[in-house]
Amino acid sequence: MGELRIAAQSLKMSVRSRMQYRVDALVATIAVFVRESANIIVIYLALLKFDVINGWNVNELLFLFSILFLTYAIVVSLFADLRDFSRMIREGRFDRLLVRPRGLLFQLILNNADVIASLGHGLLGILLFVLSAGRVGIQWNLVTILYYTGAIIGGVLIQGGIFIFFSALSFYFVETGSIRSIFYWNMRKFAGYPISIYNRLIQTILIYVVPFAFVNYFPAQYLLRKPDMANYNEAYIYIAPFVGVGVYLAAYLFWRVSVRRYYSTGN
């Protein structure tokens, strides 16, 4: 129970520190929302002209995007410190956690929430879901709702696991920003669209290396059953919610092994 109280307290602190400058926080939230909407607006305008992209219409694409935004909103409210971990090490702030009587990952996950990004992505995700979910022919019943919930949790675990993995790499290399930029941020750019539009190499990376395909593409395929699914193993859509657990556990083990190597940069 104590753990939960700490969690609630620390979330409250994150929100309050961000709300010190109210107007600025509001403008920043709107800015994140607008920035992330740009891709959506562009694909929306494009589909006004072209109707479909590889068989996906505009509502189905919005649905695909909504999963990406909803999961990311949860990811940044939990894993913000792990996203910015190399900076934390450089500034010596990681040392503080070492002397506290709680697990390291537990502290990292609870310590900071990127409230602004979470609100911006979350609001957009909800908006896209509301706009699309009723228009893509999904029968919302107990099974699909359960699957959808599982897929969202799985998507959060996949991205959280990736952040933990890259954080653990900071114990080996001084600068990990660029490798993360290639493998996380760029892959996320790819993931907004049906992966079947890409060449083999990119598809392979999205399925087996940085498994973004299991965050939104395969879960959306379970619910939408678009013809381009014929290119992939049918089993992928059933294991999608569980891939997150595997990725997270693997990242966790890697973290446990790596954290032993830590020597402070300070003093």
* Residue 165 beta carbon to another protein: minimum distance, rounded to whole angstroms: 19
The candidate with the shortest Cα–Cα distance to 218, out of 199, 198, 205, 235, is 235
Nearer to another protein, 12 or 189 (CB): 189
* Residue 41 beta carbon to another protein: minimum distance, rounded to whole angstroms: 6
Nearer to another protein, 54 or 144 (CB): 54
Nearer to another protein, 48 or 99 (CB): 48
Nearer to another protein, 189 or 225 (CB): 189
Nearer to another protein, 187 or 243 (CB): 187
* Residue 55 beta carbon to another protein: minimum distance, rounded to whole angstroms: 9
* Residue 20 beta carbon to another protein: minimum distance, rounded to whole angstroms: 10
- Neighbour-count burial for 232-241, b at 16+ CB within 10 Å, e otherwise: beeebbeebb
Nearer to another protein, 16 or 35 (CB): 35
Nearer to another protein, 31 or 239 (CB): 31
* Residue 128 beta carbon to another protein: minimum distance, rounded to whole angstroms: 17
Q: Which residues bind another protein (CB under 8 A)?
A: 21, 23-24, 27-28, 30-32, 34-35, 37-39, 41-43, 45-46, 48-50, 52-54, 175, 178, 181-182, 186, 189-190, 193, 197-199, 202
Q: Using CA atoms, how far apart are residues 117 and 33, in angstroms rounded to an integer?
A: 8
The 3-class secondary structure across the chain, one letter per residue, is CHHHHHHHHHHHHHHHHHCCCHHHHHHHHHHHHHHHHHHHHHHHHHHHHHCCECCECHHHHHHHHHHHHHHHHHHHHHCHHHHCHHHHHHCCCHHHHHCCCCCHHHHHHHHCCCHHHHHHHHHHHHHHHHHHHCCCCCCCCHHHHHHHHHHHHHHHHHHHHHHHHHHHHCCCCCCCHHHHHHHHHHHHHHHCCCHHHCCHHHHHHHHHHCCHHHCCHHHHHHHHCCHHHHHCCCHHHHHHHHHHHHHHHHHHHHHHHHHCCCCCCCC
* Residue 18 beta carbon to another protein: minimum distance, rounded to whole angstroms: 12
* Residue 162 beta carbon to another protein: minimum distance, rounded to whole angstroms: 17
